[in-house]
Amino acid sequence: MKSFINYPENSDFSIYNIPFGVGVFGKEYIACATRIGDKIIDLAGLYELGFLDEIKGLDENVFEGYTLNEFIELGKSVTNAVRLKIQELLLENSILSQDEEALESCFFDVEEVEMMMPIHVSNYTDFYSSIEHATNVGKMFRDPANALLPNWKHLPVGYHGRASSIVVSGVNIHRPKGQMKPADAEKPIFGASKQLDFELEMAFIVNKNTNLGESISTAEAEDAIFGMVIFNDWSARDIQSWEYVPLGPFLGKNFGSSISPWVVTLEALEPFRTASPMQEPEVLDYLKFEGNKNFDINLEVFLQPENSEENLISKSNFKFMYWNMAQQLAHHTINGCNVEVGDIYASGTISGSEKTSFGSMLELTWRGTEPLKLSNGEERKFIEDNDTIIMRGFSEKNGIRVGFGEVKGKILPSI
Amino acid sequence: MKSFINYPENSDFSIYNIPFGVGVFGKEYIACATRIGDKIIDLAGLYELGFLDEIKGLDENVFEGYTLNEFIELGKSVTNAVRLKIQELLLENSILSQDEEALESCFFDVEEVEMMMPIHVSNYTDFYSSIEHATNVGKMFRDPANALLPNWKHLPVGYHGRASSIVVSGVNIHRPKGQMKPADAEKPIFGASKQLDFELEMAFIVNKNTNLGESISTAEAEDAIFGMVIFNDWSARDIQSWEYVPLGPFLGKNFGSSISPWVVTLEALEPFRTASPMQEPEVLDYLKFEGNKNFDINLEVFLQPENSEENLISKSNFKFMYWNMAQQLAHHTINGCNVEVGDIYASGTISGSEKTSFGSMLELTWRGTEPLKLSNGEERKFIEDNDTIIMRGFSEKNGIRVGFGEVKGKILPSI
């Protein structure tokens, strides 16, 4: 496929992608959008001009909203049809390529559009599904010989996170303050976190509402997943380690999580399916699945100190996940827990087996004992004030590239 | 104060209460409501007839919504003025008492109105703030000699719960299925929970949105609390105990939580303030507070087997809470976590020091070892299918009674 919009070969936003987001166009007008190369397209405008008229079920202009929720609630039969139609419209010699008015009014340079949160997050759950990450944490904080807890290989461990504090790429985060108890202190102290970390994760977004008591099987799960984003689960390790027993992480996490602005559909990721790691012992029936449920998505993390260049500090891959998204959703609903349009389900930190593929500073510096060396001569045990963390992700196969762009956030000093 | 509406002396909904809720009137019309005695009043109707005209800031009819969120977001200056005005209108010889049209169109018998969820729940957090409950759990599952974990007296331990599965009183809950590992089993098994429990809690509802990075101090906290409800945090102990390490409770809780339909304002509870338990060791500065922040609210739990009578199985009191609501909200936001209108913050199980005041079956039967004897001759270790759990709460002092009514739910067989 070739588009009439030119873009470099390594663009994440090829004709094969067609992601969805929400943009502020020219600082005044808000609408749902898609992107190809470095052009952002106003979908409300495209709809008004009649280019999407033939899609059944798209009777109102759902693209005028401030979130994608209304659009994705239409379900895959509609959202897939819209995506394929946009793809067709972006091909060389399409009817759209000849329409001066549409090109003038609906196509914007990326610099002209500020991306907003793509969805209203109804509920947010974070899993813990990378065996390498769970093993690393177990080795550091518990028993190196029995790093994985007994339940870990039997169910995708997860917990509820805070929906309100999920922000879009570009929103900077103040270093959180809180209670912590340094190893050598007799009593807990109060102050700004000294062990601020990122967690490299991906997350999926659900497109349907279910009733309390209903379950979603592994076979049904992917139909309920609209698409994915990159997810940075900022973590204050010192606050977390003091608070988390026995009910789990809380203030060490809920001061902010960041997502990439473009939701890449499962359909765009279809060519990049791959086999899952072997699950041994065998899982219970409700967690069994058929087919390739993992996705080969290259992930990179960069740390950029103030007034300095980006340092690549981790290269991981979403395909390392032990538990896949279908299993996560089946597990989450097996007890009848209902899901809602706009729910976000994050993977947990995605680490590989190589040290260079670890998905957090905690693991990369092995709890601060092996600081990272940066190109400007500095070292880092954890994130310092005014450091920017950038995560990028893309899939590539047979000359086809589909990517997520980036999620970026700077840590500002504590207020 | 005496109302022109007659009600028995022990009514929870006295002229001193004036709670807020959302009702379906005559199976067709939905509006915000208040209640006095056994009469439910349509507030959208009262507004349309001009009875609330003098309240500044109430320019649109926020009572027409399907939730209280829009109303409570107006803040205490408006919501308190509305409550006081309604109270005045309900006094003997008021202008409303003489208005036949209003009495006819806005006043309904309780049987004619079905109560709905009073709010859209934006985010839900559950605390663990009863020292008696935390101690009981610690004794049963950890070390009787060191029942409380080291952090417990330094911060109000809490975790994020699932907002989507909070339902209103009267919604029945199917027994959840899930993974559990019986003590004598080699491998986890799948099935319906055999250790289904309630947790007697109260919860407060927040009336404002804050920005990420902002904190709410203990002095500011009560202004952000619109009111309270009774909260039943249904719990599947066998699912919970297998899954909860290391990230906290998840599927053992998120199959459903139930709340009472009437939100009782903090202002109505003002006469029932009482001192907090002594906090020793002294807490960090951000958790210090002035004045009486606990409330004397009598709480009762009843278990009603199918075709049998109610059995009173617990008598507790909200005043037992070690950590108060102001401390909970200050702690939750000290790291900059933002709050949203409609957030629910639950107390955690409210147990007293007497065995008869324990707030869960787990504690009342001491993990099933001392079954409860019921009036029909049966015994209970945990909740059985078709058992109904009813929780009631009220404050009473100097002849003034302000209550919550009840939260009720039946456990249906697993599907």
Mean pLDDT of A350-378: 98
Q: Chain B residue with minimal CA distance to A173?
A: B213
Chain A interface disruption, residue of B160, B233, B286, B334, most A CBs within 10 A: B160
- Spatial contact of B402 and B394, defined as CB atoms under 8 Å apart: yes
Q: CB B159 to CB A160 under 8 A?
A: yes
Name the fold adopted by A124-412: Fumarylacetoacetate hydrolase; domain 2 (3.90.850)
Please list, residue by residue across B79-112, b when 16 or more beta carbons sit within 10 angstroms of its beta carbon and e when fewer do. bebbbebbbebbbeeeebeeeeebeeebbbeeee
Q: How many CB atoms lie within 10 A of CB A137?
A: 21
Asked if residue B261 has a cis previous peptide bond (ω within 30° of 0), the answer is no
Mean pLDDT of A95-109: 97
Q: What is the DSSP string of B367-378?
A: TTTSPEEPTTS-
Chain A interface disruption, residue of B174, B247, B253, most A CBs within 10 A: B247
Of A123, A158, A331, the CB nearest to B247: A158
Q: CB A159 to CB B336 under 8 A?
A: no
Residues B334-344: tens digit of each pLDDT? 999 999 999 99
- Spatial contact of A251 and A176, defined as CB atoms under 8 Å apart: yes
Instruction: Give B195 to chain A, closest Cα distance, Å.
Output: 14
Which percentage of chain B shows pLDDT scores above 70? Answer: 100
Catalytic residues of A: 133
Instruction: Count helices and strands (H / E) in chain B.
Output: 10, 26
Q: Chain B residue with minimal CA distance to A181?
A: B151
Q: How many CB atoms lie within 10 A of CB B2?
A: 10
Q: Which residues of B touch A250 (CB under 8 A)?
A: 157-160
Of B161, B163, B286, the CB nearest to A190: B286
- Average pLDDT value over all residues in chain A: 97
Instruction: Give A149 to chain B, closest Cα distance, Å.
Output: 8
Mean pLDDT of B290-301: 98
Output the pLDDT for position B286.
98
Which percentage of chain B shows pLDDT scores above 90? Answer: 97
Residues A31-64: tens digit of each pLDDT? 999 999 999 999 999 999 999 999 999 978 899 9
Tokens 């090829």 found at: A14
Q: Which residues of A touch B174 (CB under 8 A)?
A: 213, 336
Q: Which residues of B touch A334 (CB under 8 A)?
A: 177-179, 251
Mean pLDDT of A128-135: 98
Please tell me the distance from the alpha carbon of residue A59 to that of residue A1, in angstroms, as a whole number: 29
Q: CB A190 to CB B248 under 8 A?
A: no
Residues B45-67: tens digit of each pLDDT? 999 999 999 999 997 889 999 99
Q: How many CB atoms lie within 10 A of CB A289?
A: 19
DSSP bridge pairs for B402: B13, B395
Beta-sheet pairing, B29-36 with B39-42: antiparallel
Q: Say if residue B27's pLDDT is above 90.
A: no
Instruction: Give B384 to chain A, closest Cα distance, Å.
Output: 17
Comma-separated ranges of CATH 3.90.850.10 domains in chain A: 124-412
Q: Chain A residue with minimal CA distance to B180?
A: A151
Q: CB B164 to CB A122 under 8 A?
A: yes
Of A159, A177, A256, the CB nearest to B248: A159
Q: Chain B residue with minimal CA distance to A178?
A: B335
Q: CB A164 to CB B285 under 8 A?
A: no
For B61, the 3-state DSSP assignment is: coil
DSSP bridge pairs for B344: B124, B205
Output the pLDDT for position B111.
97
Instruction: Give B307 to chain A, closest Cα distance, Å.
Output: 24
Residues A218-236: tens digit of each pLDDT? 999 999 999 999 999 999 9
Q: Which residues of B touch A162 (CB under 8 A)?
A: 123, 160, 337
Say which amino acid occupies B364: L
B17 alpha-carbon distance from chain centroid: 16
Of A174, A244, A335, the CB nearest to B255: A335
Q: CB B336 to CB A149 under 8 A?
A: no
Q: Which residues of A touch B245 (CB under 8 A)?
A: 149, 151
Q: Chain B residue with minimal CA distance to A242?
A: B151
Q: Which residues of B touch A256 (CB under 8 A)?
A: 212, 336
- Spatial contact of A272 and A250, defined as CB atoms under 8 Å apart: no
Of A128, A177, A334, the CB nearest to B334: A177
Q: Which residues of A touch B164 (CB under 8 A)?
A: 122-123, 337-340, 343
Residues A275-316: tens digit of each pLDDT? 999 999 999 999 999 999 999 999 999 999 999 999 999 999
Output the pLDDT for position A27.
82
Instruction: Give B48 to chain A, closest Cα distance, Å.
Output: 30
Q: What is the DSSP string of A2-71?
A: -BSS---TT-SB-TTT--BEEEEETTTEEEEEEEETTEEEEHHHHHHTTTTTT-TT--S-GGGSSSSHHH
Q: Which residues of B touch A345 (CB under 8 A)?
A: none
Chain B interface disruption, residue of A335, A344, A414, A415, most B CBs within 10 A: A335
Beta-sheet pairing, B225-232 with B257-259: antiparallel
Output the pLDDT for position A28.
86
Q: CB B251 to CB A149 under 8 A?
A: no
Please tell me the distance from the alpha carbon of residue B361 to that of residue B367, in angstroms, as a whole number: 8
Query: What backbone phi and psi angles, to 5 degrees, belong to B329?
Result: -70, -35
Q: Which residues of A touch B340 (CB under 8 A)?
A: 164
Chain B interface disruption, residue of A153, A216, A247, A328, most B CBs within 10 A: A247
Instruction: Give A221 to chain B, closest Cα distance, Å.
Output: 17
Output the pLDDT for position B60.
82
Q: CB B179 to CB A155 under 8 A?
A: yes
Q: Chain A residue with minimal CA distance to B340?
A: A164
B407's tokens: 């939260």
What is the phi-psi region of residue A277: left when phi exceeds 0, alpha when psi lies from -120 to 50, beta otherwise?
beta
Domain A21-115, CATH = 2.30.30.230
- Average pLDDT value over all residues in chain B: 97
Q: CB B179 to CB A154 under 8 A?
A: yes
Output the pLDDT for position A121.
98
Instruction: Give A69 to chain B, closest Cα distance, Å.
Output: 15
A273 alpha-carbon distance from chain centroid: 17
For B386, the 3-state DSSP assignment is: coil
- Spatial contact of A84 and A1, defined as CB atoms under 8 Å apart: no
Output the pLDDT for position B59.
77
Q: Catalytic pick from B120, B133, B154, B174? A: B133
A89 alpha-carbon distance from chain centroid: 28
- Spatial contact of A267 and A223, defined as CB atoms under 8 Å apart: no
Beta-sheet pairing, A21-25 with A29-36: antiparallel
Residues A309-361: tens digit of each pLDDT? 999 999 999 999 999 999 999 999 999 999 999 999 999 999 999 999 999 99
Beta-sheet pairing, B113-115 with B107-109: unpaired
Which percentage of chain A shows pLDDT scores above 90? Answer: 97
Output the pLDDT for position B118.
98
Q: CB A122 to CB B163 under 8 A?
A: yes
Residues B368-377: tens digit of each pLDDT? 999 999 999 9
Instruction: Give B262 to chain A, closest Cα distance, Å.
Output: 22
Mean pLDDT of B21-32: 94
Residues B379-409: tens digit of each pLDDT? 999 999 999 999 999 999 999 999 999 999 9
B246 alpha-carbon distance from chain centroid: 27
